[in-house]
Chain A
Amino acid sequence: MSDADPELLQLLPHRPPFLFVTRILSMSSGAARAVWELTGREEFFRGHFPAHPIVPGVLIGEALAQTAGLAIPDDDSPHRARGRSGSLARIDLKFSAPARPPVTLELEARVAGSRGDLHQFDVVASVEGRPIARGQLAIAVTA
């Protein structure tokens, strides 16, 4: 919990235990790839579910939103986005398979469009290259 990547702590306002991205694979203005490594010892697996743990879909959505936070385009925002707060304005995901720990979730976010401080992303979460969730989300960057 306390071993968060210092680079991530600079780029995202989230903190453990609600910082789910554990490593950045690539990052540019408008696109980011990252991973969330889960050991199976995370607290929420005690209840989701006893004896057969599955990564909660809402947390996969949050991890994708954090990945999108790494990809917010600099040039489209009146406020420089990185390291600032952003609010999830919309999310629409389709889940095609469960993710069971231990597992490394590969997270990808690519900007699809922007208007001012509002940014829409296409997002995908994969396990070993196979998509398990995909959809769109929007983030509003706050001043």
Chain B
Amino acid sequence: MSNRFVSLPAAAVAALIVALPAAAEEPQSVQTDAGTINPAKVERFFNQPGYSPYAGRSFPTRPLFGEIHLHTSWSPDAIAGGTRVGPDEALQYAKGAEITSSTGQQVKLSRPYDFMMVADHSDALGVMSGVLEGDPSLMTDPKLKEWHEGMKAGGDKATAVVMEMITLQGQGKVPKPMTDPNIQFDYWRKMTEIVEGHNDPGRFTALIGYEWTSNYGGGNNLHRNIVYRDGKEMADQVRPLTTFDTEIPNELWDWMAAYEEKTGGRVLAVPHNGNLSNGLMFATETPDGKPIDAQWAEERARWEPLYEVTQSKGTSEQHPKLAPSDEFANFEIWDKYNLAGVPKEPGMIEYEYARQALKRGLKLEDELGTNPFKFGLIGSTDDHTGVSSTEENNFWGKFPASEPGPERSTGNAFDFDGNTVKDWQLGASGLTAVWAPENTRASIWDAMKRKEVYGTTGPRMFVRFFGGWDFDEGDAQRRDPGTVGYGKGVPMGGDLPPAPEGAEAPSFLVAALKDPISGNLDRIQIIKGWVDANGEMQEKIYDVVWSGDREPDADGKVPLIGSTVDVEKATWTNTIGAPELITVWQDPDFDPSLKAFYYARVIEIPTPRWTAYDAAYFKEANFSADVPMSVTERAYTSPIWYTPQG
């Protein structure tokens, strides 16, 4: 049983009920400060739910929304592209302020975020210059010259210099050139200072982080965002890892271990864009060609508990070719090239998509003892404008060139000698919802670590997903799925506890409430992946609850909902779909001897895509006929895993 139960009143009551009959046979009184307590008295208090429905409630009642992958002008590719919005303005914007974008336009979020992580490329966050390099220009300062000589002399003299440096540093009396910002300026310390200034526990969390941007072998996207649980004091102690240091992910994990050992802090890494890795993101060998082993699997599972499944450069949940029966898989797919325009070869997509990796992880667990791909799912933007934008009617592109304007109807987002990706292929996507009890760095980071998170393609849908062994239909009639969910099961990101005696198949409580300013909900699906008795990877998608009175076909598939989108006006109506959906679902095909995972996908009704808003707003916009003009937004929860016992 997970220790989450300990803090919950429902579980405490259950435990007491079990314990009491034994105690009752042989009544024993306990003497306390409050007098004598006997079992009957205890029973009187505990055998009923607490009077206050809120007392003892330690789980969050609404998720926190934000993202952890925004670039600002401090990223070289951003500033080269004309981005003028720095981390300070980007964080003000995330808190709801109106700012001026790099193209001089006013921009504001529909609603503030609860948290944000600016993740600029570490390769650009280096120190500008070292003090001890013996640069002739520094030697004009007599003290520095003396130190330099002392260092060169070595021995006692060098020792004396070191001691003097430490002393003067402690007194704040180091020579002027050493404190000159021109010489000493350090982007990372400045970054952490700015982030620290915006962190406002309880109201808005500014996480410290950076992106380690490995393009191993030339454009093969192995990028990771590093998320710190800690504040500036710890983050400053260790220099962020750059790709000049290494381009191999397992060496990034060494760095993470070194950081934790040095500071006592905590970090985790979130990979993204497997779709641009040309087969490397979830490969079964390291990029430098070594087969992965038990240690590798253990470290990947430890350091990378999450995967960014959707963002502006495409969505990597599942490729339609790998799941021909999944009518919702063909969503914002980028499958032509890697990041350097190198075309994909057959077989590569097998190792690029999240669902495929979740399945392969089960298989690898048999071989390696650990499931290396046991990750939860999030979304973030990867915007390089300093403007995090995920809403179709407020989409600010990926670079200043794709900020709102008629040019982005025909422009190229990427151009590799004629191999192009058009601006219109950019997705207004990537938001993370975190089930954290408090809006603090520690609470959000901990929820990320235990994968109690989900990703959306932009809308702020409220999604609950619990797995257990005894959810029943009545649980879906209750209005507090949190209470019953935590009481009877595990939340998204968790492992099903061992099946109790007599349990036939796991059951799941799943609920979703639409974003008040976005489309109604079409359906909730539960996606199951497993490895069959022959070692083959399998998946199945179940429509578990849907709006209206549509009848599923013979295969259990619910017909498409249709569309109310008026492309010309860029509007839609919520006359189809439902504002909220809730159900309990039991796996009808459960085999207790096979490992499996389950995650929920919540699908909205079609709404206008950002391209439709552009076409309606810019007279000069000139989208070609093949540009999609509507979108079915969705949420992806982290999975719940089942492992057979023994």
Genuine A/B complex: no
Residues of B within 8 A of A (CB): none
Residues of A within 8 A of B (CB): none
